[in-house]
Chain A
């Protein structure tokens, strides 16, 4: 068997050819991929940015796609299963991801197919029974993350947690965090790390830091891949069909309940009521199921909804602030955000005010 010491885009092993395909520009390859997926009972995922494919002569016999750090649409022609194809395919997709600067990779699969990936260096993160398993390509990813969190554990009977995107940080966020902190012995605040919002993660983190001043019992944490990220909660970041779309919020919430909450000793999760954004509203509703009900071996976490603050009869929301920002109505924003947010909006974002896609 041909051995390979340096990664190349094209490698010949026996008669099989592995190479990378851009499905957006290469319609011929894309058509073959779609046919292979159909033969394997999978649907083509539009969001995939690159594929590794394998051809035996003219025939496309295997493929695996990459959407940022998520591996998708992995299919092997039934005639080529059971051999080394899976190992080769996963090696190739891992090198492809590495060449794109991505090393921590995730894969969603039906629980009955999870064994395939376990044999290829993937490890279970969370399973939603009968629906989906999320795996990552390291045996120590979530474990070392939780070990780091555990060092920031604070003793107490009632330990709260808030996970916020705060895009941007409003008086509503300040109110939620204040109320939550008052209600517990200690509060852990996590910022969503994914940089797909109007306000960059760096700015959102900075504003959280500035705007929680004066609250004595709160720790601000960096966000991670394991909380409301593209990997754990894809529907929040892109409209997804197929298996990833179906799992919706369960993966993210079970990961929180099974791993993150026990590391910090979290007993309560606080959330603001959500009158505007349907995705967030659904997340809040699902939270009560996946965090509180008997769906996991990990202890239940109480979900506490806090009514949104209102200004002139209107609930304050970050999406409303973004809307006003786009219209250039800075004065109306002043009433809805703390001074630190207003200063940053005025100095950095007001000039950028133009129609942007909302997240």
Chain B
């Protein structure tokens, strides 16, 4: 999935996360700031990176402000932000299975 524009998804509210994706020519850079990072940092990063891998996003800058979101929320937000950044509106469900 090729990123074409800046995109946002989510909110800064509790149990959610705010994600910002920007196109870039550099390899994927994922920056995560989480209120529960010391405890769940690796798990949050894994959820973000796996979702991006499934969507074949290999370049770009991803900034996540996490407010204690569950994994399913993280995946949904990352997915939404990546689609918006790529200008894609149809979900490719097979890529997610």
Contacts and interface: CB of A to CB of B under 8 A. Distances in A.
Contacts of A144: 61
How many B residues touch the partner, as a band? 10 to 19
A103 B61 CA distance: 13
Interface in A60-106: 84, 87-88, 90-91, 94-95, 98, 103
Contact of B65 (A4, A88, A121): A121
Interface in A222-278: none
B20 A88 contact: no
B97 interface: no
Q: Which of B14, B61, B65 gathers most chain A CB within 10 Å?
A: B65
B81 to A, nearest CB: 11
Contacts, number: 44
B75 to A, nearest CB: 14
Nearest to A99: B8
Given A138-B20, A140-B61, A103 B6 contact: yes
B8 A95 contact: yes
B82 interface: no
A103 B22 CA distance: 9
A90 B33 CA distance: 16
Contacts of A216: none
Majority SS of interface residues in chain B? strand
How many A residues touch the partner, as a band? 10 to 19
A139 B61 CA distance: 11
B18 A94 contact: yes
A4 B6 contact: no
Contacts of A4: 11
Interface of A: 1, 4-5, 7, 84, 87-88, 90-91, 94-95, 98, 103, 120-121, 138-140, 144
Q: For the complex of A and B, list the 5 residue pairs with the smallest distance between their C-beta atoms, beginning with the closest.
A: A87-B12, A121-B65, A91-B11, A103-B6, A91-B12
